[in-house]
Chains A and B, each alone.
Chain A
Amino acid sequence: MLIGNYKETYAADEAILRTPATRVWTVVALGAALAFPFLAGDYLLYLVNLMGVLAIGALGLNILIGFTGQISLGHAAFMGIGAYGTAILASRFGLPFWITIPAGGALACAGGMVVGVPSLRVKGLYLAIATLAAQVILEWVFTNWTSVTGGIRGINVAPASILGFPLDTDTRIYFLILGVAVLHFVLATNLRRSRWGRAFVAVRDRDVAAEIVGVNLFRTKILSFMVSSYYAGIAGGLWVYFTKVLTPENFPLSLSIQFLAIVIVGGLGSIPGTVYGTVFMTLVPEMLKAGTGLVRGVWPDAQSYLFPLRDVVFGLLIVVFLIFEPHGLAEVWNRVKRFFSLWPFAK
């Protein structure tokens, strides 16, 4: 509960950064983000780049699941569509990244529209299975349409470049990823308070009631699928320039599940939660790796248990969060904030 935080105009009430403290912290965070690559080590920078790409994709999935209440088990495949679109335009036609990445996003968006159509006939469990089918079929297409996707040999892509200045190191690509990520997070925040964003939430909460107050269910659901796949496509395009090589096994079902886990652990329908979820789910395996490294002296076999242990911890996180903290890390963070702002007057 904030005290003394009066809103006198609608504009002030609808603002994204509503308090002086949030404004200050946002500026601090952006400053830290700009300084980060010059202070961090190579590996940490690599991880953060990875998180940036995943966060954009996860945000797309959160728009679909958290805002609109639709389910997708095929998010990684849409990321794949975007990635292949970007890679093909870049490698065959030599187009610059500021065309290929949005084009990849648009292609994924079109794919999302097609897959979104079943959402007219089915929902819930059936929709989950329909998107699962899309994942399997698209993965198959990536592998077997060799004349276009290069099959399992994949596609090599030259680094992105701005006016002849190549973004070929992790530090340089970091700024591209950061810029695109910030842009898309601001976009999503604005989308949420727009007419369409509110329509998404209305469909999630009660679709029949939403239709009665004039929300066109068909268009809203399709739009949600399109926005979600567009985000996935953009993430895919960045992925291409980040790894510079693209193969079909980059986008397996397990990545779709990873996205779902990020959204659930971070907080369904929460935009900052998407970031917390991405950071958390990327760091946990790293910490396990560090942990097994630490106990190597006393338990030399620990290393061989790393991969299965990762599976177990991953599954446990999903189960534990769903049962005990269904609103995810975003809610945990809110509780912590509340505790400090009310202390010592309440617990």
Chain B
Amino acid sequence: MSEGLVHLLQLLVSGVVTGGIYALVAMGFVVVYKATHVINFATGEFMMLGAFFAWTAMSALSAPFAVALVAALLASALLGMATERLVLRPLLGQRTISVIMVTIGLAAIFKGLAQIVWSGDYRSYPAIFPRAPIALGPLLLPSRQFYPFLIALAAIALVGLGFRFTRTGTAMRATADDQMAAFGMGIDIRRVFSLSWSLAAMTAAVAGVVVGIIGGISPQLGAIGLRTFPVVILGGLDSIGGALLGGVVIGVLENLAGGYVDPLLDGASLKEVVPFVVLVLTLMVRPYGLFGTREVERL
């Protein structure tokens, strides 16, 4: 294979890996948005806390990775529930700006607390996976990208299938579809809200662990949450399939821009803004995204 082709494939593969992680984070947004029509600006911070929970379990309690992951999931689920109950529920039905701002406030609180508890230092998980890189034909994928990517895929599949086939998942979809009707059919809406937030927090925790394995953990880890907005908007705010596709598209575009355009620019990095340019274009052409529900409303 020619060198150029290998370069392209390498970019595509790392784009798909990045995209898989974006998709997982985006899933956290979508779950909450579907049920409660809230965009959670603290998703990145939920990720960061999840990563720290797992890290604490592994380093302080020397738990094996699987146990640590489960512990982090449980802790995040509780945190998600508490957040919904204490902060979001009192604001039910308030103006959009209030709901957005409250999650931004939460993000600041979580970030500050994490810095107080765990300090601002960079940390990394103890070695979890075999070190040998994975060979895909002519391409080499570092093991610390390959295995986390598998975890991300598994989590996406699990959430997607759960949404589709379990009783609770059906209740969540029904609530998203028509709150009144769902309520009338005996679905406990408050429980659905609470479960959605804990599910979103758990998804974020897995994403946090994945990102933590790839790039290390610090209170700044949540910054990636911001970069997933283009993903959810492109895919459609209330579409899980959209989150998946949007994640991969944005991840690949980002890597292509980074690989082909950035070397031509003098020091500037197009990679940083490409997702947001896509976001603006999406909003102009098709605001509800590729698979989002088209809402007819007066503007």
Contacts and interface: CB of A to CB of B under 8 A. Distances in A.
Contacts of B113: 308, 312
Interface residues of A, number: 51
B298 A207 contact: yes
B280 A65 contact: no
Nearest to A317: B105
A130 B105 contact: no
Given A122-B299, A125-B237, A316-B105, A308 B287 contact: no
Contacts of A118: 280, 283-284
Interface in A105-137: 118-126, 128-130, 132-134, 136-137
Interface in A292-325: 305, 307-319, 322-323
A208 interface: yes
Contact of B116 (A119, A264, A312, A317): A312
A146 B287 CA distance: 33
A314 B94 CA distance: 21
A240 interface: no
B177 interface: no
B97 interface: yes
Given A264-B101, A326-B94, A137 B298 contact: no
Given A120-B299, A257-B104, A315-B109, A71 B94 contact: no
A308 B114 CA distance: 8
Interface string A261-302: 100100010000000000000000000000000000000000
Contacts, number: 146
A140 interface: yes
Contacts of B268: 140, 143-144
A310 B101 CA distance: 17
B115 A307 contact: yes
Nearest to A144: B268
Contacts of A123: 297, 299
Interface stretch (B50-58, B143-151, B184-192, B270-278): B270-278
A261 B91 CA distance: 17
Contact of A133 (B39, B120, B279): B279
Given A129-B229, A308-B113, A260 B276 contact: no
Given A121-B299, A264-B101, A129 B233 contact: yes
Contacts of A167: none
A211 B298 CA distance: 10
A122 B102 contact: no
A319 to B, nearest CB: 4
A133 B280 contact: yes
B interface secondary structure, majority? helix
B100 interface: yes
Contacts of A307: 115
B108 A71 contact: no
B104 A260 contact: yes
Contacts of A180: none
B96 interface: yes
B108 A312 contact: yes
Contacts of B267: 144
Contact of A322 (B101, B110, B114, B233): B101
B283 A315 contact: no
Contacts of A268: 97
Contact of B277 (A137, A305, A323): A137
B265 to A, nearest CB: 8
A161 B106 CA distance: 44
B93 interface: no
A333 to B, nearest CB: 20
B229 to A, nearest CB: 5
A206 to B, nearest CB: 10
B59 interface: no
A255 interface: no
Interface residues of B, number: 50
A71 B299 contact: no
B250 to A, nearest CB: 13
Contacts of A191: none
B87 interface: yes
A191 B27 CA distance: 44
Contacts of A119: 299
A89 interface: no
B106 A315 contact: yes
A208 B298 CA distance: 7
Contacts of A134: 280
Nearest to A260: B101
Given A144-B268, A264-B101, A311 B108 contact: yes
Most chain B CB within 10 A, of A71, A126, A211, is at A126
Given A125-B96, A128-B39, A137 B109 contact: no
B98 interface: yes
Most chain A CB within 10 A, of B90, B101, B113, is at B101
A225 B121 CA distance: 41
Contacts of A143: 268
Contacts of B272: 136, 140
Interface in B33-61: 37, 39
Given A319-B102, A326-B94, A140 B273 contact: yes
Given A133-B279, A310-B112, A121 B287 contact: yes
Interface string B77-98: 0000000000100110011111
A45 interface: no
11 contacts: A118-B284, A126-B233, A133-B229, A140-B272, A146-B266, A308-B219, A312-B116, A315-B106, A315-B107, A318-B102, A322-B94
Interface of B: 37, 39, 87, 90-91, 94-98, 100-102, 104-116, 120, 219, 226, 229-230, 233, 237, 265-269, 272-273, 276-277, 279-280, 283-284, 287, 297-299
Given A257-B104, A315-B108, A322-B98, 4 more contacts: A122-B283, A126-B287, A144-B268, A318-B102
